[in-house]
Structure formats: structure tokens, C-alpha cells
Structure 1
Amino acid sequence: MIIALVFIHVVCVFANNQDSRLDKLEKLLKQQMFKLTEQELRIGNLEVINNAQKSEIELLKHRDYNQTKEITFLKQRMIYCLRDEDSLSGDNLENGEHSIKENAIEKNILPRAFGQVVAFYAYMSKPQGNPGARHTLAFDVLRTNIYSGYNGATGIFTVPTSGVYIFTFTVRVICNSHFSFEIVQNGIVQGAVVVDTISQDAVCSSAHSTGTIVTPTLRGDTVLVRTHSTNQPFGGIQSNDQGRSSFAGWLIG
């Protein structure tokens, strides 16, 4: 009987100890759950803040893009204003000197850090008679030369930024002429046009022909327009205020 009572007492003490341990574990579990809930709330708040910051970054990118476009427009307007000022000041510069001056203006106003806008447009200042075959055409009057890739003296455009470009040229020839023109990239002909004004009639006039290519390029590539490499031309190239022979190109992506 005594042994049974002792056994019951021991069992009760053990049970009480287990209950106490379970209570402690339950309290500890509740504390951990509370901390976990706090962490989840903090994570939720951080996600909200992160999403708000992402939205703000996208907004700033959009504003920066618009500001870049506006700066581009203003710089272009500045160039045109400076050109107009030159023309109104009575400076009688030769075409070559005028081209060099315009090029220098654009270099100062549009440095290389300006961005990914690359474009040029130039035309011939005067006619060229009997240029011969495989002759590179020099469009010596530069109206636009962002990134200074085009050389009006040599007639060669050197790619300053890799990408896909559009190049287009228009050549006007005089009466009784026959020409074929090529647009050449790194020595490889990418396109060609022909223009013929030879006529048996009493009335003979000038005519023009236009060629356009879209081509991928790498920095340092060269692009030029020349008379055909094997087809011997006859006659002369015309360029005046009645109709310009011109060359242009721009980066599209």
C-alpha cells in the first residue's frame, strides 16, 4: 500500500513537471509566433516601400528621357541660331571654311557624352564635272553632324556608335549625262542607283536619283557614296539652290 502511494506521488510530481515544461514551451512558441508576425509585417512594409521606390525610379527615368529630348531640341535650336547669326553678320566665308566652323560649333555644343543621337546631313556646294569611275563624292556643306562622324572633305562617314543606321543619298546630274552611283560600307557595295539624261530631243534637262539602305554597323565602319567602280560615267553632277546633291544618315537602334 505504501509503495503504491509513493508511486502515485512520483507520477503526480512528474506530471506536474511535464505540465510546467509544456507551459514554458507554449509561452516560448507564442513569443516566437509574435516575433514572426512582426517580421512579416516589417517585410510587408518594406515591400510597399520597395514598390513605391520602383515607381519613383520609373517616373524619374521617364522625366530624364523627356528632359534629354528637350535638351536635344534646345541644342539643335542653338546651332541653328548660331548659323543664322553667321549668315546675318555678313561673313563671306568659303563653303569649306563655313563647314569647318559649323563642325566646330557642333563639337562644342554636342560633346560625345551627349547620348545615342547620331545623325548627319550634308550637300555639295557646287557642281562636279566628269568625276570619273570609282570617285568618292564629297558633300562638303555640313548642315547636321551630331557626333561628328561625317567628313565633308573626304566624303566618308565613320561610324561613332555601333547600331543600325539608315543612309540615303540623292545625286542630281546635268543634261546629257549617264551615271551609276554606289553606296559602300567598308569597301562592300550595299546599294546602287542609275540616272540617265542623254536625250535626242531638243529639250534636255537635269535629273536626280535617290538611294537608301538600312544596315547594321560597328564602331569604326566607313560608309561613302561614289561613282560606279566599273561603269564609266559621262557628264557632270549638279548641285545648286534649285536642287541639291546630298548625303544623310542616322542611327535608329
Structure 2
Amino acid sequence: MLSFLMVKEQLRSKMVFLLLLYMTWITSVESNQKNRHFGDIGRVPADNEPIIRELIKRVEVLEARDVTHTQVLEELEKKHRKEIDELKLELANQKHEITILRKKSAGRSRLIAILMRRTKPCVESCVTGSEETGSDIQNLSDESKVNRIRRSMNEAKIAFTAGLTHTFSHAGAHQNIVFDHVETNTGNGYNPHNGVFTAPVSGLYLFYTSVLADNNREVWCQVVVNGKNKGSAYARGTDGRHDQGSQAIIVQLQQGDDVAVQNVAADDAIYGSDGIYSTFSGFLLQQDYSQNIVG
């Protein structure tokens, strides 16, 4: 805004300078006319008329610019005045909000002081009680350690692996595959006569099966828990070759739940031999201690 005011002052200075120049010229002309004859008075020399017209033209241009700049300055002044008024209003609102926040802060400080005075006796009485509480926590911690030791001593060890030593050339639909060769059966959960594992305890178990399809045949098996499919394995032998399929699952079992590997489609062929190419394995990952152990 200051720059526009400076421009306006410069324009006015130029106008004043031109007017003074014009008046000086007029005075000079009048003084020269005094020495002329009576008939020459009032006549301006012809060679001075272009100068007069040029001066008048410049004065008019300067006046037009002055009007234009005056309008621009007035518009800017209105705009800036509006912005200043808005800033003043915003500043007043912020001062009001700061005053309210200060009052709230003072009130909260007084409330904290009151609460501190009221809770001081309770803190003193709680110091004594905390010693008793710490003793109780220590007792609970010791009891927890004892329970963990008891669990580790009583935790069941369950694991098995069984293999197939003969080929099922024409397995029936939903027929249990009986893995007859028992390699490991810790906990005696697996039955090699019917191919079923029965959970001795509740807990989290992992089971894995791998089946080999006979040459130019296919096999589609499922790992079932209580007769429900939990995972499938598929293999198809082509060009006179065998093919291997496998599956692993982790399931939560309750004591007494049974797990088996079943053939799905009729007339599948599962290869078995002394090389133990088809297997069924499982073991307990974590025993469920929802019932307290007595020890």
C-alpha cells in the first residue's frame, strides 16, 4: 500500500512541475507581448502552439493516471481494512478463548490440590498395606512356579509314526488306510490294526501324512478328525511312474478324539513296501491343562 502512495505522490509532483513549467512559460509569453504592437497582443506565436498542446496533453494523461491510481488505492485500502478488521476479530476471539482456558486451568489446579490433601492419609495407610500385598504376590508367584513344575513332571509324552508295507491296489471309498508298520508309538495312541489314532489327553496336536500313488494310478486321501476332513493329499502316477502327495495339519483335540487317513475315491492305489514310502505321523505339541493337576 505504501508503494501505491509513493507512486501517487510522484504523479502529483510531476503534475505540479508541469503546471509550474506551463505558468512560467505563460509569464514569459506575456512579458514578451508587452514589447509588441497592440495588434500582436493575444496572439501566441505559431512555433509555441505545439508545445502548449503537448503540455496540455501530458497534464491530461497525468490527471487520468491519477484518477486510475486513486481508484486502485481506494479499492486496496478497502480490502486491507476488511482484512485488518477480520484479524482484529480473530485476535479478540483468541484472547477470549485463552481467558477461558486459563480459568479452567486454575480450577483444575485447585481441584488437584484438594484431591492431594484428601488422599494423603490414604497413601500413608496404603504403604503398610502394600507390604502385605507384596507378600501375597510373592506367594502367588511361588504357587505358579510349583504348578509349572508339576505340569512339566506330569506332561504326557505322545508321538507316533507308522508306515505302509503293502500296496492297496483297490482301496474303497472312505476306507481307512491302515499303516501297519509302527516305528514309534509313545503314549500308545495309534492302533496299527485299524489305522486310527485316539488322543490320550486333550491338547494341541500336529499330524502329517505322505502317500505314494502306484505307477499309472492315482490316490486321493484325507486326514479326518472324528470323520471330518481337515486336509487332503493327492498324487497321480503317469508314464509308468509313481507320484507322491502329502499333507500336514495342526488341530486341537479333546481326550478320546480319533484321527485317521482315509482314501476318498473308490479303486485308488496306494503303494506300500518295506521301503516305507507311505507314512502317517503325529505328536502332541501342547497339553491342555484346563483341569487342575493334583500332585
The TM tier, using the shorter chain, reads 0.5 to 0.7
Q: TM-score, normalised by structure 2?
A: 0.46
SS at match of 1:238: coil
For residues 60 and 139 of structure 1, the distance between their equivalents in structure 2, rounded to whole angstroms, comes to: 41
SS at match of 1:157: strand
- Does 2:281 correspond to 1:245? no
Match of residue 133 from structure 1: 172
- Does 2:218 correspond to 1:184? no
Query: Which structure 1 residue ranges, 4+ long, deviate > 4 Å from structure 2?
Result: 37-41, 58-65
For residues 244 and 261 of structure 2, the distance between their equivalents in structure 1, rounded to whole angstroms, comes to: 15
Gaps of 5+ in 1: 1-36, 69-113
Letter in 2 for 1:247: F
- Does 2:124 correspond to 1:49? no
After TM superposition, list the pairs within 5 Å mapping 1:102-141 onto structure 2: 114-124=154-164, 126-134=165-173, 135-141=175-181
After TM superposition, list the pairs within 5 Å mapping 1:34-45 onto structure 2: 41=128, 43=129, 45=131
For residues 126 and 230 of structure 2, the distance between their equivalents in structure 1, rounded to whole angstroms, comes to: 64
- Does 2:263 correspond to 1:227? yes
Letter in 2 for 1:249: G
Letter in 1 for 2:280: F
Deviations 1:210-238 (A, max 9, x none): 0223333333222211222x3431x4512
Gaps of 5+ in 2: 1-123, 287-295
Relative distance call for 1:64 and 1:189 in structure 2 (3 A) is closer
Match of residue 170 from structure 1: 210
Query: Shift in Å at residue 143 of structure 1?
Result: 2.9
Relative distance call for 1:133 and 1:39 in structure 2 (3 A) is closer
Match of residue 253 from structure 2: 217
SS at match of 2:271: strand
For residues 220 and 162 of structure 2, the distance between their equivalents in structure 1, rounded to whole angstroms, comes to: 20
Relative distance call for 1:39 and 1:231 in structure 2 (3 A) is closer
Deviations 1:134-184 (A, max 9, x none): 332112232332332210111011222234432210012332222211222
Match of residue 148 from structure 1: 188
SS at match of 1:252: strand
Query: Shift in Å at residue 48 of structure 1?
Result: 4.1
For residues 60 and 54 of structure 1, the distance between their equivalents in structure 2, rounded to whole angstroms, comes to: 10
Relative distance call for 1:167 and 1:245 in structure 2 (3 A) is same
After TM superposition, list the pairs within 5 Å mapping 1:70-81 onto structure 2: none
Identity rate of aligned residues, in percent? 22
Q: Which structure would you say has the larger Rg? A: 2
Query: Shift in Å at residue 247 of structure 1?
Result: 0.6
Match of residue 76 from structure 1: none
Relative distance call for 1:53 and 1:164 in structure 2 (3 A) is closer
